[in-house]
A and B are shown apart, each in its own frame.
Chain A
Amino acid sequence: DAKTTQPTSMDCAEGRAANLPCNHSTISGNEYVYWYRQIHSQGPQYIIHGLKNNETNEMASLIITEDRKSSTLILPHATLRDTAVYYCIVNRDDKIIFGKGTRLHILP
């Protein structure tokens, strides 16, 4: 089973920041937090990952709490093309166990 808990769905207005939460209270010290997304039956797409520190790349920012039990993925200026299922995954260079993810709807 997936080791994370995410809301089933979320809405966000186009142009606003989308903040997707994830709980991973049983994460162990050497496990990373990864985020992937899947746009309508396409292959999952890597977004970002982190261990302890907050991370930012061209797609998103990842905020990890100090106790590492939860994190938030931030899409700073959501567009309609960001409509997808977003998966928060706890992993250590291993197979990915996908949960149901959060279905993010970007509203025009």
Chain B
Amino acid sequence: EPEVTQTPSHQVTQMGQEVILRCVPISNHLYFYWYRQILGQKVEFLVSFYNNEISEKSEIFDDQFSVERPDGSNFTLKIRSTKLEDSAMYFCASRPDRAEQYFGPGTRLTVT
């Protein structure tokens, strides 16, 4: 069964550094999402992406964040200058038209 994959599973970075989190959505899906979950808290929506552009973003998704679909398969989340409070699990999700979302296993980002 096809699934969403994410790399790396765990990323440790120093404050102020740039990180890129990678996702490979399910191949025939059209809509792509990033969510994050700070330890012990709710899963929070960050951004949705469709037809090669952002369709919606949350207040969390400020100028430090960007997303890209550089080729036909990858979907990336970049954080330009990480802060301590960016430490969280980051989940990628995708869906076909008018259907449920499929989530990846997540990337644990630790900012020190």
A interface residues, Cβ below 8 angstroms from B: 34, 38, 41-46, 49, 93-100
Q: Is B75 an interface residue, CB under 8 A from the partner?
A: no
For B, the interface residue count at a CB cutoff of 8 angstroms equals: 25
Chain A residues near B89 (CB-CB < 8 A): 41
Q: Which residues of A lie under 8 Å from residue B99 when comparing CB positions?
A: 93
Interface residues of B in 39-64 (CB under 8 A from A): 42-45, 48, 56, 58
Contact of B101 among A42, A96, A97, A100 (CB under 8 A): A96
Given A95-B48, A98-B44 in contact, is the A41-B106 Cβ separation under 8 Å?
A: yes
- Tell me which of B33, B45, B100, B106 contacts A34 (CB under 8 A): B100
Contacts of A41 in B (CB 8 A): 37, 89, 106
With A95-B33, A95-B48, A95-B56 as known contacts, state yes or no: A46 contacts B102, CB within 8 Å: yes
Minimum CB–CB distance for B57 against chain A, Å: 9
Kindly state the separation between the CA atoms of A99 and B45 in the bound complex, as whole angstroms. Answer: 11
A43-B91 in contact (CB<8A): yes
CB pair A43–B42 under 8 Å, yes or no, is no
Scoring B residues 78 to 103 as 1 if CB is less than 8 Å from chain A, else 0, what string do you get? 00000000000101010001111111
Q: Chain B's nearest CB lies how many Å from the CB of A90? A: 13
